[in-house]
Amino acid sequence: MNNNIDKLTINNKVFNSRLMLGTGKYKTPRNANDSIQASECEIVTVAIRRLPISLKNDNSSFLNTLNWDKLWLLPNTAGSQTADEAIRMAFLGRELACQIGQEDNFFVKLEVISDPKYLLPDPIGTLKAAKFLIKKGFTVLPYINADPMLALHLEDLGC
């Protein structure tokens, strides 16, 4: 029996679970932590805008309570309205990954949403940011609409 059939591989990083869990909508940090543990997920996405600049001296952040030896951080550029904002958030996410000991983590969930009213992803901004970030060595997981042509362009870039 092939045990790799249910594993998820993203840019040579292998995960046992395909579940990615967000952290933004829990009532308390304890609820988030309990949910993450119960789900047995290995990838946790975190909106960079909602985090302190440094986790080293912030014991109140629930991120400091998570076991980063078992979890993989997926920084999220949520709230970015332009490609430039998303790129800036991606680099801040990269810094956060280093702070938790994941120096080899260049993952980013790329969200460029220029219209906050309808929350529709900006395909041009996403493509622009993805192209730049991939050149800088990031593993880009873009948030897009069901647009097969955009998906092919992003795949051609390396997303």
Residues annotated as part of the active site: 109
Q: Which two tokens stand for residue 54?
A: 């440094």
Residues 87, 67, 92, CA angle at the centre, nearest 5°?
A: 15
DSSP string, 43-104: EEEEEGGGS-S-STT-TT-GGGGS-TTT-EEEEE-TT--SHHHHHHHHHHHHHHHHHTT-TT
Residue type, 148: P
